[in-house]
Amino acid sequence: MSVLGSHGQSSSLQRLHYVEKRIVRLLELAGVAMDELGNASAPKTEVLASHCRDFMMAIKEIQTMLREEIRSTCEYRPFEKCDYNSRISNEIYCKKLEHIIEQLDAMQQNIDQCSNSI
């Protein structure tokens, strides 16, 4: 997702997406830890400990990010400044510009033709 804010910082949506990805990774980690525990041979304690540490760190990170995001959410204002009028203005200006450009191109062609015939 390449939705960046105006200053290059990540947007709220990007951060939430990151949180979701972390949660997915977390589940994966839990699965790996379970596998390790359920190892046919004895589960290695260091590996398990490292997994659990990672898990707890991830939980902490997710928690802080979510807390921040929830604190900074604002109410959804459904498009209060409706600029459909200016959008139509722009469309009309666009049409005018295209028309003018065509006419200028025609003039250019005329000039070329005249200069070619000379």
- Tell me the C-alpha distance between 110 and 108, whole Å: 5
Residue 79 or 115: the one with the smaller Cβ distance to other proteins is 79
Residue ranges in contact with other proteins by CB under 8 A: 1-3, 13, 17, 20-21, 23-28, 30-35, 37-40, 78-79, 82, 84-85, 87-89, 91-92, 95-96, 99, 102-103, 105-106, 109-110, 113
Residue 73 or 103: the one with the smaller Cβ distance to other proteins is 103
Shortest distance in whole angstroms from residue 40 CB to other proteins: 7
- Tell me the C-alpha distance between 19 and 13, whole Å: 10
- CB–CB of 26/59 below 8 Å? yes
Residue 49 or 88: the one with the smaller Cβ distance to other proteins is 88
Neighbours of 39 (CB within 10 A): 12
Shortest distance in whole angstroms from residue 112 CB to other proteins: 10
DSSP string for 83-110 = -HHHHHHHHHHHHHHHHHHHHHHHHHHH
Shortest distance in whole angstroms from residue 37 CB to other proteins: 5
